[in-house]
Amino acid sequence: MAVAKVTEKVEMKFSVVGKSVIRVDAKEKVKGKAKFIGDMYIHGMLHGKILRSKYPHARILKIDVSEAEKIDGVVAIVTAKDIPGQNIVPLIISDEPFLAADRALYYGEPIAAVAAISEEIAEYALSLIKVDYEPLPPLLNMMEAIKPDAQKLHPYGNVVSSYRIIKGNIEVGFKEADIIVEHDYTTRHQEHAYLEPQGMLAIPNPDESITVYGSMQCPYYVQNAVSAVLGIPRHKVRIIQTTTGGAFGGKEDVPSRIAGITALLAYKAKRPVKLIYKRDEDIIATSKRHPAIVKYKSGVTKDGKLVAIKVEMYYDAGAYATLSPAVLWRGILHSTGPYKCPNVLVEAYAIATNKVPNGAFRGFGEPQVVFAHESQMDQLAEKLGMDPAEFRLKNILDVGDETATGQVLEDIGLRETLLKAISMANWKQKRELYANQSGRYRKGIGISCAFYGVSLGASGKKLDGSGAIVQVTPDGKVVIAVGTTEMGQGMKTVLTQIAAEEFGLSMDDVYLLDTDTGVVPDSGPTVASRATLMSGNAIRDACAKIKPNLLVIASKLLSEDPEYLKFENGYIVSTKDEDKRVSFKDVASEGYMERLQLAATGWYKATPTSFDKETGQGNAYITYSYATHISEVIVDTVTGKVKPIRVVAVHDSGKIVNPVLAEGQVHGGVVQGIGYALMEELIEENGIIKNANFTDYLIPTSMDVPDIDVAFVETHYREGPYGIKGLGEVPLLAHPPSIINAIYNATGARLYELPATPERVYFAIKKVRK
């Protein structure tokens, strides 16, 4: 496979940053030695199991645990009544209980939990717990749930959250338009399908504090949740993240509820309890990507300028608010795409239904609208008689342009990503080549562009600070700790690179600890493609506090002014005379002799952001990343099966710390994007998920992966460490519409609903051939 091409825009010299060093956790993972939460055993440990609602909507009249309690080996059973603290998972809108008390709002909702000496006994005990339900009619259609006369699931009604963006004058905009395209777009659930299911191990300590190990993205959310459920302050709750086998947003808020229940069991049993989800319960009872209906209307002048965009967004929140307000906010912020448009009106709603609560999934509310705006762009281009890439080039955001929220952009490499992708994919030749085809198998090529607000932005700004602890040891090595987490994306490696770069050391000289709330202050969640930027800056801040003390020592040892000293290849070297050098190790050792402080806490606080709830105007995000994806597909017009054959993905995520890891991020996003576009579909019947396994819920395998060519355009974000922005989520959100547009190019059939399964493609083709 081709190694990613990198175009540097700001010349900086690096020794470790920008190099494709091997992942720091590669060996342990390849050898199967990494310890996931399922691998952990503690003396006296019990096994936890959760009893789940049998109905998508029911009153809980009575829970009788007396028979279950009699079983040998059952140590503790908990229901809502056993909660010493608050029975509400703390998040944006507090409406979700740890254990359902008098009503269950979705199929699979936790009602009670058992801790026993074995999983089998715990499972058996569950079967003996008697729950008297009064089933209620479930609210399963969000468009019904939003009607004023619908039954109300929450005291606040069924509208969990709503936002709008108003810019210019939409009426005037559509009057100016010569061509208008209007369509509804439907998307469905997407399951995270992380390899490692959810799991926690809670250990009550003799001093009445508690330690919880587990698979998670957001240890401080978990700390807050355990503190809430047990009614003990946060300094008595220590959360340590274990090796996490994938998350993709699915371990953002969900682990809070699981850790709460596990901690409750451990507290009552006064013994350690481990609780691991089985795959089917993980699929049934944990968050997914929000199903959405996006109603889109856009207008252009005949010379190809976007003048009006009107969008209505409806996102199915599921039973509880969880992260829906934040997901919806990110969705609306990106709803007009990375394009200039003077007149915008967007209204967005997240609506409660009796389904599993939907939450964070890589892209966080964006893939739904990217599918819509990129489908619109292609249809507008066609009506104009313009090439879709040319049409995008005419309308994309450039330096100095304004987003729909009125934010003026600085570091923006979108045009370069587009131009580069067009050339790498031989776009023009392929479009011509595929214009006239006949026969059963047709090839097509499609393009899509996207932008992504890096980090939490104005809706989550209170969480947008991050810390790091850096210590230089007496033998001249470096230990670092950060508050963000590794979940497979490569954070440990890139942050180790940053610390090594700062001290002029090699990767082996730096060790990054597992994330532990007892070590680093609350650094916000590990989401929103923010870890490298936020923790990277925090590490640099800490290093900057330690370096002067190291230089004091080196200066003394070398008789050189600190101003003329630099950190290089394990030495501190004079810039005037390269032979004047002392090893980092000797300086560190001497530093300890002199009792100087060679450890520090670093902190980074994101630059200010703003959002006016009335108008939707403001500087919503600190900066944005950009991408252009081009897909080529072969469509079997007889069966409707689509096979992606080639992908070109060009990204502007600022400075790239590790090109191979970054390329891996893009590959992963492309593959998840293929799943979202073509195959992933949960089957629900009366609110019950029927295909909670990987036999019937199809995700791409290695056989489905096309050739992928990746390139990076490195614009410089002045606040990022070395110009870094963020990459994690962008590849997935940018990808699906490139496939949908390629299907259209191949067949003339346009899909308005995801996934484009063979059935849907078949019927779409049949419709246009009639």
Q: Of 167, 717, 745, 721, nearest to 404 (Cα)?
A: 167
Q: How far is the CB of 727 from ligand MOS (least distance, A)?
A: 13
Q: How far is the CB of 327 from ligand MOS (least distance, A)?
A: 8
Selected from 200, 528, 558, 677, the binder of ligand MOS by CB under 6 A is 528
Under rule CB under 6 A, residue 212 binds ligand MOS: no
Under rule CB under 6 A, residue 249 binds ligand MOS: yes
Q: Which of these ranges, 88-96, 227-235, 356-364, 572-580, lies near ligand MOS under the rule CB under 6 A?
A: 356-364
Is 200 or 528 the residue whose CB approaches ligand MOS more closely? 528
Is 343 or 625 the residue whose CB approaches ligand MOS more closely? 625
Task: Output b/e per residue, 539-566; b: 16+ Cβ within 10 A.
Answer: bbbbbeebbebbbbbbbebbebebeebe
How many residues in the shown chain lie near ligand MOS by CB under 6 A?
9
Q: How far is the CB of 622 from ligand MOS (least distance, A)?
A: 15
Nearest-Å Rg of the Cα atoms of the chain is: 27
Q: Kindly state the helix (H) or strand (E) to which residue 724 belongs, with its residue range.
A: none
Query: Which tokens is 301 given?
Result: 């002048």
Selected from 185, 361, 697, 762, the binder of ligand MOS by CB under 6 A is 361
Is 294 or 463 the residue whose CB approaches ligand MOS more closely? 463
Q: Which of these ranges, 309-317, 357-365, 558-566, 608-616, lies near ligand MOS under the rule CB under 6 A?
A: 357-365
Under rule CB under 6 A, residue 527 binds ligand MOS: yes
CA distance 676 to 738: 12
Of the CA atoms within 13 Å of residue 328, those in its CB half-sphere come to: 32
The residue with tokens 């000496």 is: 117
Q: Which of these ranges, 354-362, 410-418, 533-541, 552-560, lies near ligand MOS under the rule CB under 6 A?
A: 354-362
Is 267 or 624 the residue whose CB approaches ligand MOS more closely? 624
Is 290 or 581 the residue whose CB approaches ligand MOS more closely? 290
The residue with tokens 């096979």 is: 643
- Bridge-based pairing state of the strands 46-52 and 110-116: antiparallel
Under rule CB under 6 A, residue 486 binds ligand MOS: no
Whether the CB-CB separation of 302 and 177 falls below 8 Å is answered with: no
Q: Of 443, 769, 435, nearest to 636 (Cα)?
A: 443
The residue with tokens 């919880």 is: 212
Q: How far is the CB of 491 from ligand MOS (least distance, A)?
A: 13
Is 282 or 378 the residue whose CB approaches ligand MOS more closely? 282
Q: How far is the CB of 326 from ligand MOS (least distance, A)?
A: 8
Based on the number of CB atoms within 10 Å of its own CB, is 40 exposed (0-12), middle (13-18) or buried (19 or more)? middle
Whether the CB-CB separation of 463 and 531 falls below 8 Å is answered with: no
CA distance 646 to 693: 29
Q: Which of these ranges, 355-363, 408-416, 472-480, 596-604, lies near ligand MOS under the rule CB under 6 A?
A: 355-363
Q: Kindly state the helix (H) or strand (E) to which residue 332 belongs, with its residue range.
A: helix 324-333
CA distance 86 to 97: 9
Query: Which tokens is 107 given?
Result: 């199929």
Is 237 or 456 the residue whose CB approaches ligand MOS more closely? 456
Is 217 or 535 the residue whose CB approaches ligand MOS more closely? 217
Selected from 362, 581, 585, 646, the binder of ligand MOS by CB under 6 A is 362
Give how far Cα 580 sits from Cα of 541, 564, 566, 591, Å: 27, 11, 11, 19
By beta-carbon distance, which residue lies closest to ligand MOS?
A: 249
Is 204 or 365 the residue whose CB approaches ligand MOS more closely? 365
Is 505 or 527 the residue whose CB approaches ligand MOS more closely? 527
Q: Which of these ranges, 334-342, 361-369, 483-491, 640-648, lies near ligand MOS under the rule CB under 6 A?
A: 361-369
Is 339 or 364 the residue whose CB approaches ligand MOS more closely? 364
500: which DSSP letter? H
Under rule CB under 6 A, residue 360 binds ligand MOS: yes
Under rule CB under 6 A, residue 133 binds ligand MOS: no
Q: How far is the CB of 218 from ligand MOS (least distance, A)?
A: 8
Q: Which of these ranges, 360-368, 632-640, 699-707, 755-763, lies near ligand MOS under the rule CB under 6 A?
A: 360-368
Under rule CB under 6 A, residue 364 binds ligand MOS: yes
CA distance 733 to 529: 12
Is 321 or 635 the residue whose CB approaches ligand MOS more closely? 321
Under rule CB under 6 A, residue 281 binds ligand MOS: no
Under rule CB under 6 A, residue 252 binds ligand MOS: yes
The residue with tokens 């108008």 is: 615
- Where does residue 196 fall: left (phi above 0), alpha (psi -120 to 50 degrees), or beta otherwise? beta
- CA quadruple 276, 280, 284, 289: dihedral, nearest 10: 90
Whether the CB-CB separation of 421 and 7 falls below 8 Å is answered with: no
- Bridge-based pairing state of the strands 159-167 and 273-276: unpaired
Q: How far is the CB of 527 from ligand MOS (least distance, A)?
A: 3
**Where on the chain is the footprint of ligand MOS (CB under 6 A)?**
217, 249, 252, 360-362, 364, 527-528
